[in-house]
Structure 1
Amino acid sequence: MRTIRTMLTGRTILTSLLCAGLVAPAGAQQAPEPRRSVSSYGVPGLIDMPSAQMQPDGEIVTSIYGLSNGSGRTQLSFQILPRVQGVFRYATIPDFLRVGDEFIRTYDRSFDVRFQVLKENGWIPDVTVGLQDFGGTSLFSGEYVVASKTFGPQWTATAGIGWGRFGSAGSFTNPLVALDERFRDRPRYDVNTSGGQFSTSSWFRGDAALFAGVEFRPNDRWTLKAEYSSDGYREEEARGIFDRKSPLNFGVEYNLAPGIRLGGYAVGGSEFGFNIQLALNPKRPPTGGSGLEGAALPVALRPSRDAQPQLWSEAWVGAAQVEEPVVAGLDAVLAEAGLELISYRLTGDRVDIRFRNPRYASEAQAIGRAARAMAATLPPSVETFVLTPENERSLGSASVILRRSDLEAIENRPNGAAEMLAVAGIVDSASLPTDGRRYVEDAYPRLNWNIGPYIGYSLFDPDNPFRVDVGLAASAEWEPVRGLVLGGEVRQKLIGNRDESVRESNSVLPRVRTNGPEFLKTDDPFIPYLTASYFFRPGQNLYARGTVGLLEREFGGVSGEVLWKPVNSRLAIGVEANIVRQREFDGLFGFQDLEAETAFISAYYDHGARFYSQLDVGQYLAGDRGATYTLTREFSNGWQVGAYATRTNVSAEEFGEGSFDKGFFLRIPTDWLLGRPTRQTSGLTIQPVQRDGGARLTIRDRLYPLVRSQSAPDLTERWGRFWR
């Protein structure tokens, strides 16, 4: 046993911006952007005003901005594409919301999107169109068209026109009225709105105003900023929490270290502000890459058949005194490379192996190392290598067929990876013969266990920006036979504040998620999950999973899934059904009365360039029906950044705050941080509001994420690491 550790509207304008941002001249996107400082709203800009510049592709910036009156904003921005940027914002404003005779602090969540329609080239400036708070409560909503031009390495000038928040000081009649009279008026901010809807009826409407500013960089450490602001802080002034005495703002920023910038500002002639900016980029690992993985074996060359014909004999197959040492040697060399031999099938000129890859994030790299291990240990008569990586649930997807002579000939060529891919065969592992396959002695049963700390978090909820629990967790998984996995975890909280939420559910739907805070109020040990799962392949292109037990923290029951995924196709179709019951709040073995049935048909598509989309259509936990769309961008080193949105037959009023379910997530490969190979990842999901509409089960080991990395499109994308 192995033990392991025609009339212009907001919608037509948005469509035009998408076309401008996505369909751009290729040459204009080739020059890399420098890292930009950000405004108080988290986008490249001056102080309160935006600029037209963009961050480097893939850049992620967290900015924490505060004013001396107690207001603050925390923003997370992501450069989705070279010309498209998105922002999530969580703001806190003191004495803003009236409750009875008192004014209390309010927390607000909002999203922005920006499209760069022109790229600076000669005398042509950068030009960007932005939608701020386009789908939140509209407290910060505003739109703008802005141009920025650099003058040498030290100066950048910015000027633009804004609406909404950016048209609230020094304003004039909207020039778009000349195109359509509907642009004349803009709906007022409503403090009672539930938010979450796309406020297209407000976009580019109402009075407009001009803004401008300049940025001076005397050296690579210091930046000076000055701007004429068109942000009138009307809602804040109306409540007496901001006194705008001047449209001029001034600031100074210091670049403390790569990716860390500090700023101080004089705002509105009455307030002082600060900004802490933390930037990172998936393309720039802090360790410079996975350079600690160790060198791969060279391809061992076979002796000449003419000089030593006896070594090319196939008589070794079936001769125990020869065959057993060959297999043992292969197992040992694979283990030295961090791979685990599971099974093998031998003939005189062809060897078929299945192996696990617990070390390398890229399956192509694991296949390359396994192929060199085979070349180092197998007799010269073996010309064909068949390599099938299996995931942690004993599912194999693609089998790669290589000729040994190609390995020997191509290894040291300048374009060796591409040449090797051109001569490799990729087939469905279920199509291969199984007669004569033998499993290594310690392949099963398998035991994995772990004891260590855990961190549970709640980010940017409606009452508190940050709640966290810290404790100890013990988990184990046992695979007694191939494909059958018994697993569970026990946790004990040591310290935390996630149990301090006092918000009571006002949901009119079955409370499948809004009573979630009740599950956090136990100080005793609890069981996040305890399941028995079986994974298997019913046939070619098919994968299946059945799971029973305590499926997640809040629900237990039965879950089943079937996935159709041809190994060479970018498309996959899945079907999932679940029958569950809500667990007791103490997180042990009891159940409450609430029962639910969910079922989904899912379509997955690999768009190429490491963009992936997923559409789930079906019935959710509260009995509502609808669809969830998820878009994920994955970088070559395994970083993932994605967002999702769900709409069901539950109305915005029935759903409650937020109007519909949405969120975004990050998946960070540990090898990006440590510089040494590992398949471990860390995840972060931000869901601004968790309600009962559009709620799904959190099922472990859904099939598509398990098999995607082993399919031909993904192997091809990452084949450049074959010789690493």
Structure 2
Amino acid sequence: MARLRFPAAAPTLTGLALAALTGLSAPARAEGLSSYGTPGLIDLPAATAAPDGTLAWTSSFLGGHTRNTLQFQITPRLSGVFRYSILRGYFDTPEADLYDRSFDLHYVFRTESPRFPALAVGLRDFGGTGVFGAEYLVATKRFLDNRLALSGGIGWGRLGSYHGFRNPLAVLGERFETRPGLTSLSETGRVSFNRFFRGEAALFGGLSYQLNDRLQLAVEYSSDAYRREVASMGFAHRSPVNIGLSWQASEALTLTAAVIGGAQLGLGFSYQLDPRAPRAPGGRERAVAPLLPRAEIAALGWPAGNTEASRSRLASALARDGLRLESYAEDGARARIVLANPGFRAAPQALGRAARAMANSLPAGIERFEITLTAQGMPTTQAAFRRADLHQLEHAWDGSWQSFARAQITDAPARLAPDPGVYPALDWSLLPYVRTALFDPDSPLRADVGLAASASYRLAPGLSVETLIRQKAFGTLDQSSRISNSIQPHVRSDAPLYDKLSGPQLVQLSADYLVRPGGDLYGRVSAGYFEQMFAGVSGEILWYPQGSRLALGAELNHLVQRDPAARLGLGDYRVTSGHASAYYDFGDSYRGQLDLGRYLAGDWGGTLTLAREFDNGFRVAAFFTLTGISFDDFGEGSFDKGISLTIPLDWLTGEPSRRGFAQTIRPIQRDGGARVAIAHRLYEEVRGTNAQTLSDQWGKFWR
């Protein structure tokens, strides 16, 4: 059966921009952000923080100087930033422009009290070129019912460049007297521990005053001399005083105008949204059928033991909610089903609807419902409910909590055999796609637009064959003229070559078998063309007990690089890669993942990923990889790192969906620390049905 589906991965930056322009979700009031996209005044930081969990996009324009910043409030006190800046005429060379990528951290280590100010410490551009490199300590105190805020602090690096003085930290050692500089491009991307809080320091300060509900005035004394911009870019810096106005156009959008350095006009805007506040908080799914009184069910006279009739009624009821019945069996007063959930992102919502469908479709004598959830047909979790509990709790004020407490959630290492006609089955789709390539200095944004045909042929429980074919309609990915200078095997740095192939492109053609080797264990075997650049065979095993915060896995792959000049051809490069992985749910929406092993270029090392994922599926993650490849041999960027964003489709539309938009933002893609892309990696397949995740999302049970 053909179904119209949205692509699993599309450019999230575009989606985020559209979300902003269409006014999706925002915090109650946008917190002040500086032109650097961090909590602050105009150019300077303040000891404030954005609302916890909010995401903000800031763009500022200052002559030939453009800053674009993505900021995330990681915790109530800690925020992180990725910034992409364009500085026109920065170098005295034919390629005079600088395209700069940088990361910041800002931490409020003391919140404001009636007597004492808030205190914060920050690092600017701590892992980039150092063009914006600075560190600071800042204090902020509010007065006049929070309408007036005073800030002051001390800065180093760029924030110590105007009227600087001897570093007060020099009392701790002579190493704080001087600030080393970068000596070559290959040093960019490294964490600059040897420059933190080094060299001259300078004082800065400022104030902001809320003129009315929408308009705010800011004045600051800046310790940034804009030295390189003055020397190379014709920047006018005549005064350390900056003056700015910000206008709150909406709860999320703020427009700013400022005079920087006494002579330079700056304009900008910031947009903040709250990932925990979807556009349709309650959802727009089909209304759930109420439970029929048990007396009415008994009056219908459905006989126990007529499994064919019960199966038919139940399958029809489940299909109305987009659920698929794979197996049905009756055993006295017990009914057992195997359920496929292709539509609801929160598994408890599928469970709740399935349980009510069973109560409304099965004979009155059946008292116990056992529902086995699946991932690609592989059994994962069983949830058992008493019919009497459903009727008792349907309208209870704490029905969600009580239904979870009374449900019996257990591991499901085995499943019922599929009913006749369930397998084999074919799903296919034809839909538009957008692919992007970011941060090429010749063209910071390239994109292709076209049609993608995908198909999944389910042969048996856990066994499927999938394919994805793309046909580009128009775009610029094939126009990249950059040639890799990597001294490592070109496992990723030759990616532009694969975009030059004309005509339909077979991106994926692979077979996957997901199986349960035993209790708490999951297994996967895959073979075929996994992605645009690699084919091969892969095996994986995962240990993940029900209700556990910890999961452990191992993966082994033997891979062959695909020939960029041939549609199905394979090249000469072969590699065996694999990782041991640990996954941990820290609670309060925080997750961590550690992968240790061998990467595509044959390098050994590890990747640490820290993510904040809300119960609605909105996810922001940061990762970095360190391997045996030295920073110099890695090349520009020094090591692999980046940020990933996932926006669930139901967050945007309110309609039930397990799909979404995803984008990984890397400052630069090199060959070190690269992994093959494989569909159906086990942890992502099964964690949504683990008891730990079910408990977090159980509020959806009665939806």
Q: TM-score, normalised on structure 2?
A: 0.93
Q: CA-atom RMSD, angstroms?
A: 2.1
**1:311 to partner: Cα distance:** 6.7
| Aligned match of 1:357 | 341
The correspondence for 1:405, drawn from 385, 388, 406, is 388
Give the partner amino acid of 1:493.
K
Inter-partner Cα distance in structure 2 for 1:52 and 1:87: 16
How far apart are 1:131 and its partner, in Å? 0.8
Equivalent position amino acid for 1:611 in 2: Y
SS in 2 for 1:185: coil
Q: Does 1:72 align with 2:66?
A: yes
C-alpha separation between the residues in 1 aligned to 2:422 and 2:246?
A: 58
1:141 equivalent among 110, 118, 133: 133
Deviation at 1:350, TM superposition (A): 0.8
Structure 1 stretch displaced more, 235-244 or 75-84:
235-244
Alignment of 1:122-201 (within 5 A): 122-151=114-143, 152-190=145-183, 192-201=185-194
Where does 1:695-710 land on structure 2 (aligned, <5 Å)?
695-710=674-689
- Matched with 2:23 is none
- For the residue of structure 1 that corresponds to 2:212, the secondary structure is coil
How big is the shift at 1:360? 1.5
- Write the deviation string for residues 633-684 of structure 1: whole angstroms up to 9, x where unpaired: 1112110111111111110011011111111101111111112222111101
Could you give the per-residue CA deviations for residues 403-461 of structure 1, whole angstroms, max 9, x where no partner exists? 22222222222211111211211111116xx5xx4533442222111112110001234
Asked whether the equivalents of residues 30 and 253 of structure 2 are also in contact (C-alpha less than 8 Å), the reply is no
Aligned partners of 1:142 and 1:700: how far apart in 2? 41
Q: How does 1:5-24 map to 2 (within 5 A)?
A: 5=4
1:94 alignment partner in structure 2 = 88
Which residues in structure 2 correspond to 1:146-545 (within 5 Å)? 146-151=138-143, 152-190=145-183, 192-285=185-278, 287-303=279-295, 316-317=304-305, 322-391=306-375, 393-430=376-413, 437=416, 439-545=418-524
Question: How far 1:303 moved relative to its partner?
Answer: 3.4
Q: Which has the higher contact order (CA 8 A, sep 6+)?
A: 2
Name the residue aligned to 2:700: 721
Give how far 1:240 is off. 4.7
Note if contact 2:186-2:638 (Cα within 8 Å) is conserved in structure 1: no
- CA-to-aligned-CA distance 1:259-294 (integer Å, 9 cap, x gap): 222222211123211112122110222x23243113
Cα shift readout 1:30-75 (whole Å, capped 9, x = no counterpart) = xx9842131111112111111111111111111111112x111111
Are 1:107 and 2:99 an aligned pair?
Answer: yes
1:35 corresponds to:
30
Structure 2 residue corresponding to 1:59, chosen from 51, 54, 57:
54
Instruction: Measure, in 2, the Cα distance between the counterparts of 1:52 and 1:442.
Output: 63
Q: Work out which of the residue numbers 617, 620, 623 in structure 2 matches 1:638.
A: 617
Contact 2:307-2:329 within 8 A present in 1 as well: no
Q: Residue 517 of structure 2 aligns to a residue in which SS?
A: coil
For 1:33 and 1:681, the matched residues in 2 are separated by 25
Three-state SS of the structure 2 residue aligned to 1:303 is: helix
For residues 39 and 569 of structure 1, the distance between their equivalents in structure 2, rounded to whole angstroms, comes to 42
Supply the AA of the counterpart residue of 1:51. Answer: A
Name the aligned partner's letter for residue 294 of structure 2. Answer: R
Report if the CA contact (8 A) 1:553-1:587 is conserved.
Answer: no
Task: Return the offset for 1:347.
Answer: 0.9
Q: Is the CA contact 1:528–1:587 (under 8 Å) kept in the aligned structure 2?
A: no
Moved more, 382-391 or 54-63: 382-391
Q: 1:465 Cα shift?
A: 2.4
Task: Give the whole-Å Cα distance in 2 for the aligned partners of 1:262 and 1:426.
Answer: 51
* Cα deviation 1:291-350 (Å, max 9, x = unaligned): 311332223342399xx89979xx722xxxx33222211111111222111111211211
Instruction: Look up the equivalent residue of 1:74 and give its one-letter code.
Output: N
1:660 aligns with 2:654: no
Paired residues in the alignment total: 680
| Structure 2 Cα separation of the partners of residues 272 and 510 of structure 1 | 47
Q: Give, in angstroms, the shift of residue 548 of structure 1.
A: 1.5
- State the alpha-carbon separation in 2 of the partners of residues 303 and 513 from structure 1: 65
Measured in 2, the distance between the counterparts of 1:647 and 1:340 equals 44
Distance in 2 (alpha carbons) for counterparts of 1:525 and 1:453: 14
- Is the contact between residue 109 and residue 137 of structure 1 (CA under 8 Å) also seen in structure 2? yes
Gap regions ≥5 residues in structure 2: 5-26
- Residue equivalent to 1:554: 533
Shift of 1:527: 1.3
Which amino acid is the alignment partner of residue 141 of structure 1? Answer: G
Contact 1:627 1:647 in 2 (8 A): yes
Distance in 1, matches of 2:291 and 2:637, equals 58
CA distance in 1, matches of 2:85, 2:359: 59
Distance in 2 of aligned mates of 1:187 and 1:159: 26
Question: Is 577-586 or 363-372 further displaced after alignment?
Answer: 577-586
Shift of 1:519: 1.0
Q: Distance in 2 between matches of 1:501 and 1:720?
A: 48
Change (3 A) 1:133 1:77: same
In 1, Cα distance between equivalents of 2:171 and 2:634: 39
Structure 1 SS opposite 2:454 = strand
Q: Indicate conservation of the 8 Å contact 1:505/1:515, yes or no.
A: yes
Separation in 2, partners of 1:38, 1:523: 45
* Contact residue 527 and residue 587 of structure 1 kept, 8 A: no
Q: Paired residue for 1:21?
A: none
Q: Any gaps of 5 or more consecutive residues in structure 1? A: 6-31
1:680 partner letter:
R
Write the distance in 1 (CA, Å) between the matches of 2:605 and 2:257. Answer: 47
